[in-house]
Each structure stands twice: as structure tokens, then as C-alpha cells.
Amino acid sequence: MKVTSVEFAGAATQPGIYPNLCHPEIAFAGRSNVGKSSLINCLLQRKVARTSATPGHTRQLNFFIINNHLTFVDLPGYGYAKVSKEERTHWQKLVEHYLVSSPSLRGVVIIIDVRRGLATEEEMLFHFLTCHRRPFVVVATKCDKLNREQLEQQRQALAARLPGSPLFFFSARDGTGKAELWRALLALAFPAAGPQTRYA
């Protein structure tokens, strides 16, 4: 995918108050500090989403319009212990409201750390999205941290727990899996378009 323009279209901090956008949306969800913003930046080949070594950096929904055609939504991470219970509840309501109600949302990318695998939060998110009929794909990121043998072990362990869900391996550090993930995201965002049209 050739990214020619990326425009920050605004942020959402309150449930129900979102930028007024019309393009298909793909949202990126995952544990705090898992690498959501880095993955978005890698796909877009520029630093648009703010990344940090400190967890809990993305605290709002950030909307980015790509090629005036498609919107990426960077969601706040879950599972970060060092925020107050009130703030965590607020984030959860904000994210859940968006995932349930956005008319433009076409799919969700659930990002996990390839070294950690799946935890209860991911199982809950799968269940939540399935209940609300939201398509999702799972991306295991930070693949550069494992050797080939370890990656294969993780691939088998994850595949066994994800019957039917597409699984991708990725690294924002070296770009592993980028082209394959782009293809999957375009297919989610534009399901009616054939591959020729999607990649034109």
C-alpha cells in the first residue's frame, strides 16, 4: 500500500463524541505498551502516533485519515495497572462505546506481544467483538525479539487458541509482516472491492 497522505483528524475523549468522518475505519486495540502506536507508524511509514516506553501513553481515541480514503483509530491500551480505577473505567467505556456504535468501523486489529501470547483481556475482547459482530484480526508484534524456532512455537500455540481468526506476525522494528497485514486491513475496510481495485 502506497501511503501518500496521513492527516490527524482529531481525538475522542468522551463516549459518543467522535470526529465527523466518512471513510471506513480500522481500529487498533491491545494491552498498554504492546506496540499499537508503533505498528500504526510502521504501516504508515511515518511517525504520526505518539509512542513511548512508558505504558499508558495513548489516553484517547486518535483518528488518522490515510490517502483521504481510510481511517485508522489508535485506541488507548488496556491492562495498565498504574492508573486509577476511575480512569480505567472511563477508558473502557470510551473504547467499548466506540467499538459498539461507530457506523464506519469495519474491523479491529487486536495486537498482542508475541512473547506473552493471549491473556484474559484478549479472550474478553474476542468475545465482546464476536457478540457485536465486529470482524477482527490478531497481530502478534515484536517478532524481532524471538528467534525462528521460538516464533514457530508461538505460531503453533497461538493458532491452537485462535480457531478461525486470522493471525499475523509483525515487527515495527524491522517491518516483518507489513505487506501481508496491509492486504488484510484493506480487505476488511473494503470488502466489496476486488483485490485489483483495493490495491490500485
Footprint on this chain of ligand GTP (rule: CB under 6 A):
30, 32-38, 51-53, 55-58, 77, 141-142, 144-145, 171-173
The string of DSSP letters for 153-195 reads HHHHHHHHH-TTS-EEE--TTT-TTHHHHHHHHHHHH-TTS-H
Q: Which is nearer to ligand GTP, 51 or 104 (CB)?
A: 51
- Which residues does 27 contact at the CB level (< 8 Å), separation at least 6? 72, 73, 75, 98, 99, 102, 105, 107, 108, 109
142 binds, among Mg ion, ligand GTP, none (CB under 5 to 8 A by kind): ligand GTP
With CA atoms as reference, report the closest residue to 98 among 28, 166, 6. Answer: 28
Q: What is the closest distance, in whole angstroms, from the C-beta atom of residue 191 to ligand GTP in the complex?
A: 27
Q: Which is nearer to ligand GTP, 55 or 198 (CB)?
A: 55
Q: Which is nearer to Mg ion, 51 or 151 (CB)?
A: 51
Q: Which is nearer to ligand GTP, 71 or 141 (CB)?
A: 141
Cα–Cα dist 26/36, whole Å: 12
Give the one residue of 18, 39, 58, 102 binding Mg ion; rule: CB under 5 A. Answer: 58
56 binds, among ligand GTP, Mg ion, none (CB under 5 to 8 A by kind): ligand GTP
Give the one residue of 23, 37, 41, 141 binding Mg ion; rule: CB under 5 A. Answer: 37
CA 4 to chain centre: 21
Residues 17-36, interacting with Mg ion (CB under 5 A):
36
Task: List residues binding Mg ion (CB under 5 A).
Answer: 36-37, 57-58
